[in-house]
Structure 1
Amino acid sequence: MMKILISGFEPFGGSTINPTEQLIRSIQRESIPGVEIRTVLLPVYFDDCVDLLVKEIENFGPDAVISCGLAGGRRDITPERIAVNLKDIAPDAPYPDNKGAKPQDMPINPDGPDGLMTKLPIRKMVNRLKEQGIPASISYTAGTFICNNTMYGILDYIRRKDVPVMAGFVHFPASAEMADEHPDWPTLPQETLLQGLRVIVQTTVDELQHMSKGTP
């Protein structure tokens, strides 16, 4: 049985909704033959997000980890290419993490590399999303907030422990339900976001199956 761990986040920055929280609750109820899906809701706290996700990896032993986050202002579903070794919130940023932390110029791991690349098949994901008419593109910056912290932390854990896990991060646009709170943000229907996550999960499963068979 193949195991896929999917994470989402609680609301933050004054919003009452985070579409990735709804995504993981929905995907948990779905069934993919031969695949066990487990989900985890992460806090919007620097480093605590990574600690909780690492515990889930150690308890569940997944073949792949797909971390999901909200990128308000983006129009596409955007799998991230790279995470950087930096926690940084500008003094005039509109919000801190949910504990009030505003780190500046701080490495996530002082002994880690400057950047770590995703292990997910992001090009295939984007191509498949586009084939289904879902707006998608590869992103080359996950920012320096909690999403980047989560992506870097998990990839760094995999690197240090030499764990055979395919992992990475995907940003989702705001859902249509958030339009009242953020009228200037582009939105997509929650069902479109969910269909996008289905495509992302299936693409990951297919890639794992190809790898296990030695298929290029």
Structure 2
Amino acid sequence: MSLSILLRAATAVAFAALAMGLGALGVRPAAAAAADEPPTILLTGFEPFGPKRPPNPSWEGIKALDGREWNGYRLIARELPVVWGEPGKRIEALAAEFKPVAVFSFGQGRPDAFTVEALARNQRGPFPDNAGARPASPSIADDGPVAFLATSEAARIAKTLAGRGHVVRLSDDAGRYLCEETLYSLEHLKKTGKIQGSVLFCHVPPLGATVGGKAVDAPLVETFVLDVLEAWRETQPVKEPQASVRKASFQVEAEEQPASNASAREKEVRAFVEHYFKVWSDQDMSGYDDCFMTDAAIQHIDGQGQLFTITRPRFIASQRDAHRRSSARMVEVPESIEIHFEQQLARAVVYWKLTAGARVEKGYDHFTLKQDRGRWRIANLLFYATSEE
């Protein structure tokens, strides 16, 4: 046996002895300790607005939760500064440190209700922060889209919270201040893979306000926060135990059937989306109109970040006019389609490309689809352009 082999063998024995000794002392290797640690949920709130302002309810309501064990999770609470450009940096660093399965951020909002935010615009208002500075750039992320829809099931969470007795509303206007910057940063970090879990932003009323006959104090805000976590937990898929290899083959086939059904549903939605773009490009306005439910709502975010809601008849008429006035034939195709399902609904995010002669435009369509008259139809469409070439 060579000297190098003898040295490696001796080293292996020494490490084995060390590991046994550590085990006897109750010291576990780092990998084993990490495996036993519960998953982390990160909570953030804000410092007070200005040096002489009262405490911020978003921080007062979560600070006592720091380090608490909750339903198999470890809660980490951190305070964010009211400084332009800082929320995204701080949350990115915290996400890298703790690897959270979810990040829930809170800020101070209107005095008459708790609010679940469903839309984040890539736009800052001209307001001074706690350092007295106005934003250096009007955009939160120069490389980001005009807006993000909340990736968590905001509407369902808001409904659950209302069912728990909270006065709560679903909002599509986060205020263009540090709260909106935090919300947009959460979605941008998730989109770029720097946050792997769920993200959500909620506004809470100021301390001392009265909401639903209750005085707002830190315990009430903490109760709301814990109910947000519970509502989120109810939206998470249940992980079934792995099927035993001893099960009969017909039982395994039965268990695999839902996955096949989900795949079939996904194919149906994908086919619908492709049909939607084809009839529009073919200028088949009757077929295009048939893609929408009768009371569908269509929303558009313009280049300044303003949100407009349009009725279905008005929207179809505008698309017919756009084709008629275009000097070159317009063709729009989906370049990517992301699909997921929420009970009776399907949600599809489509990155599209429109060509009209030499003009090229790109953007996003966010579809909410529901089964109607025997097939998928659009209940809500939100769209915006991102660039022109």
What is the distance in 1 between the residues matched to 2:164 and 2:192? 37
Question: C-alpha distance in 2, partners of 1:97/1:187?
Answer: 28
Q: Does 1:109 align with 2:136?
A: no
Aligned with residue 58 of structure 1, among 96, 113, 121: 96
Look up the match of 2:220.
192
Q: Which residue of 2 aligns with 1:67?
A: 105
Report the more deviating stretch, 27-36 or 57-66: 27-36
Give how far 1:151 is off: 1.1
Whether 1:77 and 2:114 are equivalent positions in the alignment is: yes
Aligned to 1:182: none
- 1:151 corresponds, among 162, 177, 183, to 183
Larger Rg: 2
Mapping 1:101-140, distance limit 5 Å:
101-103=133-135, 106-140=138-172
Quote the offset at 1:63 in angstroms: 0.9
Letter in 1 for 2:97: N
Number of the residue aligned with 1:48? 86
Task: Confirm or deny that 1:16 pairs with 2:54.
Answer: yes
Q: CA deviation at 1:155?
A: 1.1
Tell me what 1:6 maps to: 43
Change (3 A) 1:29 1:159: closer
Q: Relative contact order: is structure 1 or structure 2 higher (C-alpha 8 Å, sep ≥ 6)?
A: 1
- Partners of 1:157 and 1:12 lie apart in 2 by 25
The Cα of 1:48 is off from its aligned counterpart by: 1.1
The 1:124–1:30 alpha-carbon spacing in structure 2 relative to 1, beyond 3 Å, is: farther
How far 1:211 moved relative to its partner? 6.0
| Cα distance, 1:154 vs structure 2 | 2.0
> Conserved in 2, the CA contact under 8 Å of 1:40 and 1:53?
no
Query: What does residue 204 of structure 1 align with?
Result: 232
Assess, with a 3 A threshold, how the Cα gap between structure 1 residues 150 and 211 changes in structure 2: closer, same or farther.
Answer: farther
Deviations 1:77-129 (A, max 9, x none): 10100111011225xxxxx2111112387111122100012222322322222
Q: Hey, what's the Cα distance between the residues in 2 that align with 1:212 and 1:140?
A: 32
- Give unpaired runs (5+ residues) of structure 2: 1-37, 241-258, 260-341, 344-389
What TM-score results when the alignment is normalised by the length of structure 1? 0.84
Equivalent residue in structure 2 for 1:172, among 192, 204, 227? 204
**Cα distance change, pair 205–3 in 1 and its aligned pair in 2 (3 A):** farther
Contact 1:89/1:104 (<8 A) preserved = no
TM-score (norm 2): 0.48
- Secondary structure at the aligned position of 2:199 is classed as strand
Q: Which residue of 2 aligns with 1:93?
A: none
In the TM superposition, residue 165 of structure 1 has moved relative to its aligned partner by 1.7
Displacement of 1:172 in angstroms is 0.5
- Greater share of residues in strand: 2
SS in 1 for 2:61: helix
* Cα distance change of structure 1 residues 4 and 134 upon mapping to structure 2, 3 Å threshold: same
Instruction: Write the distance in 1 (CA, Å) between the matches of 2:83 and 2:194.
Output: 26
Counterpart AA for 2:138 = M
Q: Which residue, out of 171, 193, 210, partners 1:161?
A: 193
Deviation larger for 7-16 or 143-152: 7-16
The change in CA–CA distance for 1:211 and 1:144 in structure 2 (over 3 A counts) is: farther
Report sequence identity in percent. 23
Call closer, same or farther: CA 1:31–1:161 in 2, change over 3 Å. Answer: closer
Which residue is equivalent to 2:123?
86
Q: Which runs of 4+ in 1 moved over 3 A?
A: 211-216
Q: CA deviation at 1:193?
A: 1.8
Provide the residue aligned with 1:183 in structure 2: none
Gaps of at least 5 residues in structure 1 are: 91-95, 180-185
Deviations 1:152-172 (A, max 9, x none): 112112212364321121000
Residue 41 of structure 2 contacts residue 73 of structure 2 at CA under 8 Å; is this kept in 1? yes
Cα distance change, pair 40–162 in 1 and its aligned pair in 2 (3 A): closer
Q: Secondary structure at the match of 2:69?
A: coil
Using the TM superposition, give the Cα deviation of residue 212 of structure 1 relative to its aligned residue in structure 2, in angstroms: 4.8
